[in-house]
Structure 1
Amino acid sequence: MKAKEVVSEMWSALMTNSDPNVIDQYVNPDYRQHSPYVKNGPDGLRDLLATLRPDYRYEPIRFIGDDHFVVMHGIHHNWLNNIMTGGEVVVGIDIFRVENDQIAEHWDASVPIAPASISGRSQFDGPTEITNPELTEVSRKTAEHYVKDVLINKRVEEINQWVSEEVIQHNPAIGDSITALRAALESSEKDYRRIHRIVAEGELVAVQSEGAVRGQVHTFWDVLRIDVTGKIVEMWQVAAVFPDIVPHANGPF
């Protein structure tokens, strides 16, 4: 099976149909968990399932995958009784590593749904379908350069190489256009330090990075849409703190 098929079938059975039996089929016995709110191993997923509210619902928005990694960008409704994430409706990003038709590893982050952005957009609207599969490697290269050169090495003056002048922005605090993005980056407290994973499919690409905000460890997840010229034309982001106390010793990455 393709990695996206494995994740889609597992997620639908587990999180939509609340069927714990799917864990034995689709989850590796040595499953490694990086979520800050879920225990390690298959038993952690069983415990998670037991905590879900009866009215929990997941709304998938984007689904990006390659041979081994799958990224889901979506909305959790009625999530964990408002205990762990700060809100009953959260936008989240999940990354799964698939090996031998089973899920072997998982990372995630989520933030509360915010009011409309400066540009009047939500954190998740915009194109969702892969329509240009031939752009996969272009997308991967552009995303890597943007995050490494502009965000990590802070060479904001190079942003025009990788970002469209009319870039569409879904970060609630940033307006559309490269001018607004440049100004936001120049005053940002986000300290990007290292890229951990890049998952690209067609014109969509997700980058998972390590960093900090005012010294507190964060995971930064940037989802980008690339056009045929190789420039970023649309941006989504989830930036989440990684707590000091978590139910496993696997770390955030």
Structure 2
Amino acid sequence: MKLTILIAEDERLAREELAYWLAKEPDIELLEMAASGAAALELAAKHKPDVVFMDIEMPEMDGIQAAQRLAAGAEMPLLVFTTAYDRHAIEAFRLGAVDYLLKPYEAARLSQTLGRIRSRAALRRPAREAASAGDGVFRPVSASPVPKRGKLLIEDGGRMVVVEAQQCLYAVKEEKSTRLHLTDGRTFVTKQTLQELEDRLGEGFFRPHRSYLINLDGIEAIEPWFNGAYNALLKGAGRTCIPVSRVAAKEMIRLLSGEG
């Protein structure tokens, strides 16, 4: 089944560049292109695209405003925001965007975006089929069960301490060991690597930086830092600040916005 895509972009060259790359994909059908947010809404109502690539900086009505209008509709298309700047990333993912593409486009990065689109579209398809079958009543498809979180066995002096996943706030790499910080303020040093801890702890833990592993439930706020990077402020009296790389920020925000 082909994916229908609407491009909303006010710059002609940028529009044509994106259309050129997308036209190479055999499972994609390009629709009419819009040069403004208002035109994007009109064409979306007319064609009901599967996906909209929405530029953020557009005259009259910008991409964020147009996306908010689309979100208020009965069936919102999958959204990919495109921009030369990354300052709108948090707002984009709050609107449930599949991805956030920076210009100029890179083939490898666009390919990653298309992979996410196809995965999301595949999840939507059974729900649409269920809605159109039988009595026409929409019945949501059951989500896959969330994997159970694991436990850790940490050596502490002459004893072994059992640590539940929900007790773990974050872990940080320290030379040849890893320091594990718990929600109650205790810390333990372990020889387990961050990757081993992530595998063991399971769903809900994320690597925002090569030296850190954090519990997503422990994040209180996310603040912009510089060059597209962020800081994650953790809950608790200590207000621990964890660096989030530019690459990891988009995925982390997507997971926190419920799009994981």
Task: Say yes or no: TM over 0.5.
Answer: no
TM-score by length of 2: 0.28
Between Structure 1 and Structure 2, whose CA radius of gyration is higher?
2
| Greater fraction of residues in strand | 1
Structure with more contact order per residue of length (Cα contacts < 8 Å, sep ≥ 6) = 1
TM-score by length of 1: 0.28
| Greater fraction of residues in helix | 2
